[in-house]
Structure 1
């Protein structure tokens, strides 16, 4: 009988398995023979001493961080949630590094789009800790869940000599883990300013691959010039865009009247309005260089690189009327019909009038909070609408933001018809608000003591606003919008997990864990969701409470997984569970009361009913 793994997905083992699938011959006794790998790759191996790449202090430690599994959990918080029983949206409070690790089993390769607005590293913004080996303990100390021994998150200043490297050490593991969560047709957008755009571009080239770079969008975030005389007035930020693989297809944006103003129909073409298009070839093609003889006998010479089409194709287009001669028959005109234009290619400059600006974001948030502003760095909802649009989101797609801030992504999805049936996962550290600033004082007055509190309250207010508007409208039977979200909070595991580093804890203390390894303060629902998460099920998986042989059993995903948390297991109960024919079963190990014979019988019973996996925890 196997134990359920209580640690997050092992990233190192995943990478080894991928390599083994490609090159099984380079493995000996499950170890990589790097000399064989070098010989297998042949000329592809660069043996030079100096290789191009990005190096910074602490980069090696980033890989250790990625490989170190999380032993935490995500505890459900019904009281702060909205429509818990029906919603498929998530708001998770916690250090996003730990949370991203915990999501690896359940959401690996499931996210369609990621948008993040990380700290810009201006010297005053909040930076996550780089004491990675203690990430969960540091987080628990920060949130007051364990004794604080002086470890804390802080701002990143140039005075400490590691200004850029601390930021890179913070971002690299998070981007690496985030990439794992993307679908093969997934895409990520990252807001950033000039302080770290160079480093972020290099970082993303390494994590996602240079071939998967799509754009560095310049977003005009400000319209009014700042009143300084000796420096440039900065009016832009960047939005970096990378796909996971070439399976991602960039979508067009909706056309506006402005886009169509150059279309007309001066010759009453039955195909409708049109505009002229280029007839020249972009590259030199000798086979496309030929003269055109007009109906009046004129000869039109080819452009330097040749025509856009072969002579046969051009003749067909002339016959169909798609290509016409001008009045003097001295040149040809290509017609591009408006009816064939379903959208417009997204461009790399986004103007404030089209996608919003920072003051608009502040004004919108202020309106939502009854005329006061509890948060001062929100992104405009229209900006995120544009990002969602070109991502090609479809109903039931999952969108992730692991620097959620005031939760503009949730509002963007909830308030646009095209994206109302997408699901979101928001992750936000419960960063304490700065009550020295005006917006911090306002947040405190509203009893919003952390950035996470502000994000949750924003979503609640958006939901209430939508519900009020819907109440005044007729119901035409459309699919119901998901107006809710489940709140989970990062915490230590409900199970006392053996610490292999006994230098940190006395061996006697470790051995005592074996007596009763369940935290006595844990609620049954906490244990249930930890088992779900670490069994690889999504946190929004439907869970039903059953009565089996007179005992309580939880059924997840319509019976695919049965979870029994009974502390006194019997052969009759085990058989009754197996008779439900689930794919997987998880029971408490302590429920067997040390009865090895009962364990053996349980395994045989599960096998007889073809239960694929039977584990204890």
Structure 2
């Protein structure tokens, strides 16, 4: 009876917020104990790279601290909607995002914090030829492109990671580490992440995931038999037929659903009044030294045949319980020589219709994914996509019927395809968010020959065609399926740099200054930046009206109203939305008008109506690029 160990309680709280800073140490008696790595904690709370010499048990590599810093560094970017590349833009709940997934994960942090039930990613395997993302936010985009000699119109951002670089593992780990740290924050408390990987980095990836998600949240290292036929080209005389899928939970409570029982295994050949049953082994799991009470001779009362226990396993039940089961006719004694007793397990006594999901995934192969891609896109357009059945089963295991699924290495878009097809099967309304880098398709590939400029274009076309196919196969129920997607593109902020601070201006001189909104940006561009700033989901329904030249965007019937005006217009009163009979909004924003002081905290804005615009809101100019901490998406 002692008072609580407050130190350990505090460590538990820190571990929940920052699993990567909790490490293994030793107490005064030399026993293992959890402790906080204060160098790592300082890094989580610092806006610069923290150096630290402390020895610790963990995976380390050159660039790890920089990767942690990169994950936390802010960016001045936004999502721009692309209606012409979307399907059912106004009604769909799905998202397709084109651009660097590190940027995407940062931009999604407020709108989808703690809302994603399942993440599946198939990152580039580190084979020595695959690209890795070169993350550097210490310089401008123009400077980065100039330094890396990558100034293509597509904004290509990848470098070869050859084994000769000396950073073969380090670059790949840094790329993954930053993204996994951001991805964890998006998961629900009972969320799960699945990561496809092969032998090159599976050991390192497990260590990284153990650090990011916490080792206690490890679920399984699933083995997927990916190859159907033996690889005759193997130089080591070993045909590597498998890959892995690592599974980690957001918290220790996270788990998989399980699979339905095979009801065909149950029968009632002896007309037992207790109903259908199946034969089950009664072997135990312990040696005589471990569980001596489970090692005894089992005797068939009808024949007096003695069945000794297996020395390495013993029996499943104690001798007293086994005697009860024999008397109740629950033990099946063999009729042939050499057989072993088994249990009669009745279906009616089983508490659930589900059994455990097996760690070995079979009967679905890479060749299946290749065939699917060929049927949807044509031969060779995308090399070795994951099969839909594999992703569909993982999604089935880790989601509810209305969950959000995220894939930030979308590739050919298999995850989006799988979510739509699973919804068609079980009537679910799951939503997906796909992110794909606008990687330029090599000129020598079938994708380029088929007219696809980037891999993102391939992804969009895949889910576009797969959605149409899913809806067609669903027949009369197809119209109710959401097989569309809102296409968004990552771009720089909508706001321009201005040289004059708000306090240096007044109402009379305001008209002398230029707009702080970039000239190529639309009202809908501004709307999506405001949605991000307010932490609103990006698939909310949007209604647009043009009234007396003003564009009025109503998000989810008054959750937010954005009013923009032509550049030549001189004045705008925010009482306009009310006078025109629009619903009184929870939030209202007008272009070039600030709703309230930029010092208002985000917590205050969400907890009260202080963020509502008033008729007398004064005009301001920003003295810096658009900041995610500021109040509105105006200037």
Bigger CA drift: 49-58 or 487-496? 49-58
Tell me which of 431, 434, 439 is aligned to 2:439.
431
Q: Could you give the per-residue CA deviations for residues 371-422 of structure 1, whole angstroms, max 9, x where no partner exists?
A: x22111311112112212322x222211111000011111112223137521
Quick one: which of 377, 391, 394 aligns to 2:384?
Answer: 377
Which has the larger displacement, 528-537 or 247-256?
Answer: 247-256
Change (3 A) 1:164 1:574: same
Aligned to 1:167, which of 158, 172, 178? 172
**CA deviation string 1:216-275 (max 9, x = no partner):** 122222123223455533222111111111222212224558xx55x5545332311311
Structure-2 separation of matches of 1:177 and 1:488: 20
Equivalent residue in structure 2 for 1:418, among 421, 426, 429: 426
In structure 2, the CA distance between the partners of 1:317 and 1:581, relative to structure 1 (3 Å rule), is farther
TM-score by length of 1: 0.76
Q: 1:585 to 1:322 in 2, by over 3 A?
A: farther
After TM superposition, list the pairs within 5 Å mapping 1:276-425 onto structure 2: 276-278=280-282, 280=284, 282=286, 284=290, 308=316, 321-323=329-331, 333-338=342-347, 340=350, 342-351=353-362, 354-356=363-365, 358-370=366-378, 372-391=379-398, 393-416=399-422, 417-418=425-426, 421-425=429-433
SS in 1 for 2:367: helix
- Could you tell which deviates more after superposition, 108-117 or 135-144? 135-144
CA positional deviation for 1:459: 1.1
- 1:462-541 counterparts in 2 under 5 A? 462-470=466-474, 473=475, 475=476, 480-496=480-496, 516-541=515-540
In 2: Cα distance, 1:583 partner to 1:311 partner: 69
**In the TM superposition, what whole-angstrom CA distance separates every residue of 1:526-566 from its partner, at most 9, and x where no partner exists?**
11111112210111011223689996533223312232334
Q: TM-score, normalised by structure 2?
A: 0.74
> How many angstroms does 1:287 deviate by?
7.5
* Distance verdict in 2 for CA 1:248–1:321, change over 3 Å: farther
Q: Summarize the Cα distance change of 1:552–1:130 in structure 2 as closer, same or farther, 3 Å threshold.
A: closer
What's the counterpart of residue 226 of structure 2? 221
What residue in structure 2 maps to residue 126 of structure 1?
A: 131
Question: Aligned runs of 1:1-20 on 2, under 5 Å?
Answer: none
Instruction: Mark the CA change 1:319 to 1:296 in structure 2 (over 3 Å): closer, same or farther.
Output: closer
Matched, 1:447 2:458: no
CA displacement, residues 254-302 of structure 1 (integer Å, 9 cap, x when unaligned): 4558xx55x5545332311311332646484577789999878979998
| Structure with more relative contact order (C-alpha pairs < 8 Å, separation 6 or more) | 1
The whole-number CA distance in structure 1 between the counterparts of 2:325 and 2:222 is 37
Aligned residues: 542
Shift of 1:338: 4.8
CA distance in 2, matches of 1:588, 1:140: 32
Sort the Cα spacing of 1:541 and 1:135 in 2 relative to 1 into closer, same or farther, 3 A. Answer: farther
Please name the residue that 1:250 is paired with.
256
Contact 1:91 1:487 in 2 (8 A): yes
- 247-256 or 102-111: which moved more? 247-256
Cα deviations by residue, 1:453-501 (Å, 9 ceiling, x for unpaired): 111111111122234434xx4x3x68811021110000001112579xx
Distance in 2 between residues matched to 1:249 and 1:46, nearest whole Å: 27
Q: 2:573 aligns with which of 570, 575, 581?
A: 570
Measure how far apart 1:144 and its partner are: 4.0
- Given that 1:65 and 1:133 are in contact with CA atoms closer than 8 Å, whether structure 2 keeps it comes out as no
Partner residue, 2:270: 267
Report the Cα offset of residue 137 of structure 1.
5.4
In structure 2, the CA distance between the partners of 1:105 and 1:137, relative to structure 1 (3 Å rule), is: farther
Q: Does 1:233 align with 2:239?
A: yes
Which of 98, 106, 110 does residue 101 from structure 1 map onto?
Answer: 106
| RMSD, aligned CA | 4.2
Three-state SS of the structure 1 residue aligned to 2:97 is strand
Q: Residue in 1 aligned with 2:503?
A: none
